[in-house]
Structure 1
Amino acid sequence: MPRLFLAALLACFCCASAQTQAADTLRQVTVGYYEFPPYSWTDENGQPRGSVLTLTERLLRHAGYRGVYRSFPGARLYAGLQDGSVQLWPGAGGKTELRGHTLEARNHFGGITLALYYRKDTPKPKIPEDLVGRGIILISGYTYWKAVNDLLDDPSLNLTTHRTSTHQAALEMLQRQRGDFLIDYQQPVEQVLKSMGAEPLPFTVLQSLQLRFVASRHAEGSATLLNALDRAYDELLAAGADLNVR
């Protein structure tokens, strides 16, 4: 009996050792992400979660890599892509700050929508004329694309901006009339409204963007990595896998 137990224990040890060695042979990739539920966030135990990160790891593993995930505010994530300390970002391309510093994958795996939210007692605004002199609520740490930044920076609109750290706080500010409009991404807003048991808010779409992998030009092997991820996407899709995130 002791011999059988010892044999089983050794078999388990050898199996675990083989799995560890197999994981060690995978090339490591530093993946940066936003706190952007339900697509990406950090749980109470400090672990990365979300449909985008799950898909990212699935594609990395298929391509022979493994991810090391780090959460960043927007400006620090872009700085990491600019200096190569962050190799990969599963996000949306076309950021002005990243021009010349990044490469983008061919495939996309979903989309995000940036919207202007308003209270139900507020008429649907015409943009930009109905924003003149109004208060806009923004999420600290988020950055936007050029058209929206130009709108926010337009001196003729005389906008007042109010910043807060969470989507729930931003929605509460809007409901308490501590701002006239909220600029935020549709996916996290819908999740927070659902968790609050609140009714949907009216909104106007400002921009819709495709999600794809963005890699730093300054990290060695990034072009090879993106090609491998595109190939992994094509192979899994051909095998019938559902690769769109929700």
Structure 2
Amino acid sequence: MTRRRALLVLFVLLGSLLATPAAAANATDLHVVYLERPPYYWTENGQPRGFLLGLTRQILDRAGIPASFSQHPPNRIMEELRTDSGPTCSIGWFKTPERETFATFSLPIYRDQPLVLLTTTDKAHLFSRHTTLRDVLADRSLIMAQVASFSYGEAVDRMQKEILVRSLTVSSSQKVLPKLILQGRAAYMLVAPEEVPTLLRLAEVDAGRFTTLTMQDIPAGNLRYLIFTKSVPDSTLQRINAAIADLTDQDALGAPKP
């Protein structure tokens, strides 16, 4: 009986020792999902690309967090964050009160330049009577192209809800939106100016047919964050935030240029 009990204890100890490395890895590994939004993050020739995706790799390397990367549509990413089936991170999302109810955010990693309207040169005259974004959004003759689950920041999102903007919403990649504008199915889209060159290239459209417009009431560019499922441990988040603080200028991000 004593020998049997000793063998049982030995097997239990060996089992726990063998399980420890895998359990530790599972506790710290992150599944990082990103959507198609160049130049921040996108897939080209089967490989993840984008300057914010590259920054995220640096942050996780600095924090010592192993991670795998995969591309998903924005609606699926939001569903994965809500259901929280495991430690998941996504890149570059805006912080909103609704998202904070089911997810955790890092320190900011980037601030966009102020939004512009992207339209075609032959449609630019349709906007000449408007000086504010609010007026554009309220114009029922102008259809806005957008991707489901995208946020344009709290101020613009609030404007959209108040006005009930006439829009054409797709659940696929943002790169289809310029084509919808060329086809006449929409008149414009909202976009950060740093996105425009890569977006038009990946959309395989003639960039010379497009132009950008600014409006008086467009707010400062939005902050972008890493967003996490609630199952990501606080200790992991602390390490990631420490790495973000090392690799970015948090003071500059918090004080946008006028």
Confirm or deny a common fold (TM above 0.5): yes
What is the CA deviation profile of residues 132-175 of structure 1, one whole-angstrom value per residue up to 9, with x for unaligned ones?
32232323334224544444444xx5753224555554334434
Determine which structure has the larger helix proportion and give its number: 2
Q: Which amino acid aligns with 1:39?
A: Y
Distance 1:82 1:97 in 2: 11
Determine the structure 1 residue equivalent to 2:236: 225
Is it true that 1:192 corresponds to 2:199 in the alignment? yes
Contact preservation (8 Å) 1:134, 1:158: no
Distance 1:100 1:127 in 2: 29
Contact preservation (8 Å) 2:115, 2:191: yes
Contact preservation (8 Å) 1:133, 1:158: no
Distance 2:59 2:247 in 1: 8
Contact preservation (8 Å) 1:111, 1:209: yes
Is it true that 1:208 corresponds to 2:212 in the alignment? no
Contact preservation (8 Å) 2:37, 2:174: no
TM-score by length of 2: 0.66
Is it true that 1:182 corresponds to 2:189 in the alignment? yes
Secondary structure, aligned partner of 2:222: strand
**Offset at 1:68?**
1.1
Q: Where do 1:1-246 residues align within 5 Å?
A: 27-45=28-46, 47-85=47-85, 87-111=88-112, 113-118=114-119, 119-122=123-126, 123=128, 125=130, 126-130=132-136, 131-144=138-151, 145-154=153-162, 159-163=165-169, 165=172, 167=174, 169-175=176-182, 177-193=184-200, 196-198=206-208, 200-204=211-215, 205=218, 208-217=221-230, 219-221=231-233, 223-236=234-247
Contact preservation (8 Å) 1:41, 1:49: yes
Distance 2:93 2:174 in 1: 20
Contact preservation (8 Å) 2:36, 2:173: no
**Offset at 1:31?**
1.0
CA root-mean-square deviation: 3.3
TM-score by length of 1: 0.69
**Offset at 1:35?**
0.6
**Offset at 1:100?**
1.9
Contact preservation (8 Å) 1:104, 1:214: yes
Secondary structure, aligned partner of 1:225: helix
Structure 1 runs not aligned, ≥5 long: 1-20, 239-246
Structure 1 residues 33 and 194, CA, compared in 2 at 3 Å: closer, same or farther? Answer: closer
Q: Which amino acid aligns with 1:121?
A: H
Structure 1 residues 213 and 170, CA, compared in 2 at 3 Å: closer, same or farther? Answer: closer
Contact preservation (8 Å) 1:113, 1:185: yes
Secondary structure, aligned partner of 1:61: helix
Structure 1 residues 65 and 203, CA, compared in 2 at 3 Å: closer, same or farther? Answer: same
What is the CA deviation profile of residues 8-44 of structure 1, one whole-angstrom value per residue up to 9, with x for unaligned ones?
xxxxxxxxxxxxx9xx979411112111111101122
